[in-house]
Amino acid sequence: MAAAPVWSVDPRTGKQREQVAVEATAREVDAAVRAAHAARGSLADRTVRAAFLRTAADQLQAAKDQLVEVADAETALGPVRLTGELARTCYQLRAFADIVDEGAFLDVVINHPDDTATPPIPDLRRYKVPLGVVAVYSASNFPFAFSVPGGDTASALAAGCPVVVKAHPDHPALSELVAIVLRRAAAEHGIPEGVLGLVHGFEAGVELVKHPLVTAAGFTGSVRGGRALFDAAAARPVPIPFHGELGSLNPVLITEAAAAERAEAIGTGLAGSMTLGVGQFCVKPGLVLAPAGDAGDRLLKSLTDAVSDVDSGVLLDHRMRDNFLAGVAERAELPDVESPVTAGAGGEHTVSPGFLTVPAGKLATEGEHDLLLEECFGPLTVVARYADEDEAKSVLSRLPGNLTATVHLSGGEAAGEGRGPELLAELTPLAGRVLVNGWPTGVAVAAAQHHGGPYPATTSTSTSVGGTAIERWLRPVAYQGAPEALLPAELRDENPLGIPRRFNGVLER
């Protein structure tokens, strides 16, 4: 594999600015993975691990001004958005440090022998151990939270797994700077810098998922790219878990009663959600089922006014801009599709937001309008107007898996009247997060969070956000009949580490 330069590109102009790094060769990928593999032992001590994560957060925060400046130069996301994203990333690192300290993620279960059971139970002790080196594939739209220091990296390190990150080509300079900060934090705790590897280049990403010492992978990106890596992970002589976030339409259902009750507020809220970050959020509402009739007309007028007031913005790169413009044009040309606010080129390097409308019946059966059921990355949504509940239900039944699904109910429906409970049940199979009277943009870092969903939203049932994201990088091991002197401290009767556990059927905290 020939080496090639990696350039920093200005998304506002599409021009190259400076050479940042060189695309990694197969030999360099191998070296990064082997260095990470050799660093596994340095993460064995949970106290050291937690301290490393907190130091990483502190040092990222200390370097905020430089990091945000470089991130904005490469992504055009703006200092306000990027500062908030960096703060979220630091919070996430500290949250995982707390999880490591607590130890409940180890799922310790101890059963003493019981000859009276049928069949008899021997001495069994179970907990979870780290898988090994994790490959992380950065996303373009979150250069901190889903990139080098993001949730995949933070949760893998918290689990005790070294990481090799494949940098995203949209922010190579930032990736290099962040890697330096994280390695410096590691060194403060005696952890080898190889605990965090960084490689650039498409071929490097392919080599990474195929490397025999890589034990799992986390990916955030497109369906096409993610599916190719997913298939490569499954085709290895020893297949590995591949936790990929690939794409999501994030449907929204608005009941007729909700529209009658607050059409204007729903229209304004939808405009804010679909245009947030120039529509470059993975949970952007891309399909909205709204009623036909007067209430639906009022909702569309509110949406039209609000979207019309949103300025044009810069997408992450010119390839995405070209794809967005082509996607909008192709969808707008379909029969019976209208554009109350036309999305398109806002200037030489920007795009303007808009939305399309279509009778919901056009989506209820397979046909040329199926294109409207595919994600269009950028500030565009499709409003499908349904004539009755059966028509809306028919459209929902045809949707693929999603990260989120949202329903807007009236006050009475939200209180359990009418079809409120039924609608919630209909949306649950579609997504990993179901919202009522809210908007999906904004994914809180919380213990109860789930950021995942049925395929193609994700390739596994796990979450990439929240405390349980750590579970992706662990596997259970049970010891049977092992003398206490040979057991790890986590599995000894006296519980010297004070870990929450289930001891002979009793939950101990």
- Return d(Cα 341, Cα 362) in angstroms, integer: 20
Write down the pLDDT at residue 3.
73
282 is catalytic: yes
- Residue showing tokens 């300079």: 173
Cβ atoms of 112 and 501 closer than 8 Å: no
Write down the pLDDT at residue 166.
98
Cβ atoms of 54 and 150 closer than 8 Å: no
Write down the pLDDT at residue 8.
86
Q: Are strands 214-220 and 402-408 parallel, antiparallel or unpaired?
A: unpaired
Query: Among the options 282, 375, 413, 490, which is catalytic?
Result: 282
Q: For residue 145, what are the contacts with CB-CB under 8 A and spacing of at least 6?
A: 85, 88, 89, 92, 151
- Return d(Cα 262, Cα 303) in angstroms, integer: 12
- Return d(Cα 300, Cα 306) in angstroms, integer: 10
Write down the pLDDT at residue 191.
98
Q: Phi then psi for 427, rounded to 5 degrees?
A: -80, -25
pTM of the model: 0.95
Name the packing angle between helices 64-75 and 46-62 (round to 10°).
70
Write down the pLDDT at residue 136.
98
Write down the pLDDT at residue 1.
44
Secondary structure of 75-136 in HEC code, one letter for each residue:
HCCCHHHHHHHHHHHHHHHHHHHHHHHHCHHHCEEEECCECCCCCCECCEEEEEEECCEEEE
- Measured CA distances, 66 to 23, 145, 277, 315, 393 (Å): 24, 17, 21, 22, 50
Instruction: Please give the average pLDDT of every successive group of 10 residues along the chain, which has 509 residues.
Output: 79 87 96 98 98 98 98 96 98 98 98 96 98 98 97 98 97 97 98 98 97 98 95 97 97 98 98 97 98 97 98 94 97 97 93 98 95 97 97 96 98 91 94 98 95 97 97 98 96 96 94
Give residue-wise pLDDT tens across range 135-163.
Answer: 999 999 999 999 999 999 999 999 999 99
Write down the pLDDT at residue 224.
93
Query: Among the options 245, 256, 413, 426, which is catalytic?
Result: 245
- Return d(Cα 97, Cα 78) in angstroms, integer: 29
Cβ atoms of 196 and 182 closer than 8 Å: yes
Name the packing angle between helices 64-75 and 79-102 (round to 10°).
120
90 is catalytic: no
468's enclosing H/E stretch is: none
DSSP 3-state of 67 = helix
Could you tell me the domains of the chain?
Answer: 25-246+461-473 (3.40.605.10), 251-436 (3.40.309.10)
- Return d(Cα 75, Cα 110) in angstroms, integer: 50
- Return d(Cα 414, Cα 298) in angstroms, integer: 21
Name the packing angle between helices 223-235 and 202-210 (round to 10°).
30
- Residue count (the chain): 509
Give residue-wise pLDDT tens across range 306-350.
Answer: 999 999 999 999 999 999 999 999 999 999 999 999 999 998 899
Paired with 110 in beta bridges are 125, 503
DSSP codes joined into one string, 311-339: PPB--SSHHHHHHHHHHHHHHHTSTT-EE
- Return d(Cα 509, Cα 497) in angstroms, integer: 12
Write down the pLDDT at residue 130.
98
Write down the pLDDT at residue 4.
85
Write down the pLDDT at residue 496.
95
